[in-house]
Structure 1
Amino acid sequence: MISMAGKSVRRWWALFALPTFAAFLIGFLVPFVMGVYLSFCKFSTVTDAKFVGLRNYKYVFADSTFVHALWYTVAFTIITTLIINVIGFAIAYMLTKAIRGATVFRSVFFMPNLIGGIILGYVWMLLLNGFLAHWGRSITFSGVYGFWGMVLLVSWQQIGYMMIIYIAGLQSLPTDVLEAAAVDGASGGQTLFRVTIPLMMPSITVCTFLTVTNGFKLFDQNLALTGGAPSYKSELLAMNIFRTFYGRIGFEGVGQAKAVVFFIIVATISLIQNKLTTSKEVLA
């Protein structure tokens, strides 16, 4: 039997859904469609847009700084995804064991995620420049220094967040399966790689999706830590798009075209990654 509240919801569901749908329409769908259209235009404001076809997209791939930023971002995303997930899972695995002070350690590891990216960028810039000063170097000395500086910063910030997701997954594992593995004489390593990790694939799917998208979208830490120096060698994709759109008069359309290409790349890679990881999920 359906309650009175259930009947009201079924009758007036459109009214309840309208505010959320309107916010989605105004805040995402309309700007997205306009952005795609403007990527085919030359404009300085939305009202003076002039259609120029594929000219903006020709500029995108002719820009050597964009191509460099693309491969730089791909390498950065791959490395940070591996580091963050491997270390985050390892810490979560240890902290789900019966060790003293596990709750305190969880809080300590999670705390960096609460700090804003701009603040973290400036703090780590001071720390890394102080360390590199012994060799007469700075974080902006080369793109390699900036690359590993951002890897260190982002890994330190995000490991704790992924750790929390992995802890939730580990704590929800079916104990009867783990007990059956122990009864069958499986070692700790065999249980981890043949039982625990396969059952943890839903959590791994979520964490890898988040780290991949975060790696591609990274902007504020890049801006604060290196600013793209030297000569845009440490510039990630998001910052390259920002610099093109706001830093070069007359190139707003090119910046918008870069943003559309950026969206297609991130969406494609995220869908492929999600498909690969979900295909390995097993039912408990």
Structure 2
Amino acid sequence: MESQSKLQEKEVVSVNKPRQTKSSIRTSNRKKWKKAGIFTLFVGPVLLAFSMIVLYPFLSGVYYAFTNWNGVTGNIEWVGLDNFKYLLFEDKQFHASFILTAKYTVVAILLTNVVGFGLALLVTQMLKTRNILRTVFFLPNLIGGLLLGFVWQFIFIRGFSSIGQLTGWSLFELPWLGDANTAFWGIVIVSVWQGAGYIMIIYVAALQNVPQELLEAAKIDGANRWQTLRHITLPMVAPAVTICLFLTISSSFKIFDVNLSLTNGGPFKSTEMLALNIYTEAFVNNRYGIGEAKALIFFLIVAGITTLQVMYTKKKEVES
């Protein structure tokens, strides 16, 4: 009896279920093809451009990292892991550039975020000139790195020298680009001056989204400005901190144009960052295979560090 009732229910369902005719199937197929065509029309050119400009050079670069090629002739010799062994155990300049880049990255991340957040706090106050200040602070980011380096090279050499002669301050009489230590800090100053305005814009957007009710309630409860900043403002802008840390880490590791135009790695390669070292190896020394091996190691390090940073700061956002 139960089996008969189940069969009857199935028959009723099959009768009530609308049957698809050939015309409806054709219509649905046409809609699918139309959607696929529209998707291909919009995504296809972008995907093709991405493949030609980014994907193919990256994959070919990975291949050349295992070869001995000068970047000019057609003679490409497969050497396997020899390039990586040379970089890890013999190339002293690569080690020095990596250590210098790591040191610069730590300093630039801290200063750029602190200065950018401080500027964001300033321009979100009830000031009459806050819109003008936002524009002034953001303007250095619009100047290209090469041009910026040459401008600041003139400032460090001629401008600081003139100020030092007028004031007698020893700070302006230092050989800013002629000594390894001062040249390093010269690059840091220019990079922070250029990047802090962009980071400021992100922090401004986050600070404007902080509920004013929370700030007013904290003020009524007797919290001072530091307590309000530490316990309310900073946790509320944590997503912006994640973005800014990611941007500053990647840009600091990849610094090239300012380094090239300001010091060109001098004096005596003491300020040669990793990106400039890779460029010099591949296009000046004509050792393209070793240059690609350096670039591959560089890519893996930056990708690993930025991934760990995003994962860690995202967890902190959830906890806060």
Partner residue, 1:129: 157
Shift, 1:230, TM fit: 1.4
Report the AA paired with residue 209 of structure 1: F
Report the AA paired with residue 232 of structure 1: K
Shift, 1:120, TM fit: 1.0
2:289 to 253, 264, 278: 253
Shift, 1:244, TM fit: 0.6
Distance 1:216 1:280 in 2: 24
Residue identity (%): 40
2:119 to 91, 95, 119: 91
Say whether the 8 Å CA contact 2:149–2:262 is kept in structure 1.
Answer: yes
Partner residue, 1:34: 60
Partner residue, 2:257: 220
Shift, 1:67, TM fit: 0.6
Report the AA paired with residue 67 of structure 1: H
Shift, 1:11, TM fit: 6.7
Shift, 1:198, TM fit: 0.7
1:12 to 22, 38, 48: 38
Say whether the 8 Å CA contact 1:142–1:234 is kept in structure 2.
Answer: no
Say whether the 8 Å CA contact 2:179–2:267 is kept in structure 1.
Answer: yes
Shift, 1:137, TM fit: 5.4
2:78 to 51, 72, 85: 51
Count of residues paired in the alignment: 278
Write out aligned runs for 1:1-284 (5 A).
9=35, 12-45=38-71, 47-61=74-88, 62-130=90-158, 131=160, 138-249=175-286, 251-282=287-318
Shift, 1:10, TM fit: 6.9
Distance 1:73 1:85 in 2: 18
Distance 2:37 2:174 in 1: 68
Distance 1:80 1:244 in 2: 25
Report the AA paired with residue 76 of structure 2: A
For residues 1-28 of structure 1, the C-alpha deviation after alignment (integer angstroms, 9 at most, x for no partner) is xxxx9x9657732332211211221211
Distance 2:292 2:69 in 1: 10
Say whether the 8 Å CA contact 1:132–1:139 is kept in structure 2.
Answer: no
TM-score of the superposed pair, with normalisation by structure 2: 0.81
Shift, 1:183, TM fit: 4.0
- Unaligned 5+ residue runs, structure 2? 1-30, 165-169
Report the AA paired with residue 243 of structure 2: V
Say whether the 8 Å CA contact 2:119–2:200 is kept in structure 1.
Answer: yes
- Unaligned 5+ residue runs, structure 1? none
Shift, 1:182, TM fit: 3.3
Which segment drifts farther, 70-79 or 271-280? Answer: 271-280
Q: What secondary structure sits across from 2:316 in the alignment? A: coil
Say whether the 8 Å CA contact 1:96–1:167 is kept in structure 2.
Answer: yes
Which segment drifts farther, 113-122 or 18-27? Answer: 18-27
For residues 176-204 of structure 1, the C-alpha deviation after alignment (integer angstroms, 9 at most, x for no partner) is 33344334433221111111101101111
Distance 2:306 2:292 in 1: 21
Give the direction of change, closer, same or farther, for the CA distance of 1:282–1:174 in structure 2 (3 Å limit): farther
Rg (Cα) greater in structure:
2
Distance 2:269 2:315 in 1: 38
Say whether the 8 Å CA contact 2:100–2:273 is kept in structure 1.
Answer: yes
For residues 142-195 of structure 1, the C-alpha deviation after alignment (integer angstroms, 9 at most, x for no partner) is 221210000000011111111111101111223333344334433221111111
Q: What secondary structure sits across from 1:233 in the alignment? A: coil
Distance 1:45 1:129 in 2: 36
Partner residue, 2:20: none
Distance 1:45 1:83 in 2: 38
Distance 1:58 1:21 in 2: 36
Report the AA paired with residue 252 of structure 1: Y
Distance 2:264 2:126 in 1: 44
Distance 2:261 2:161 in 1: 17
Shift, 1:132, TM fit: 5.2
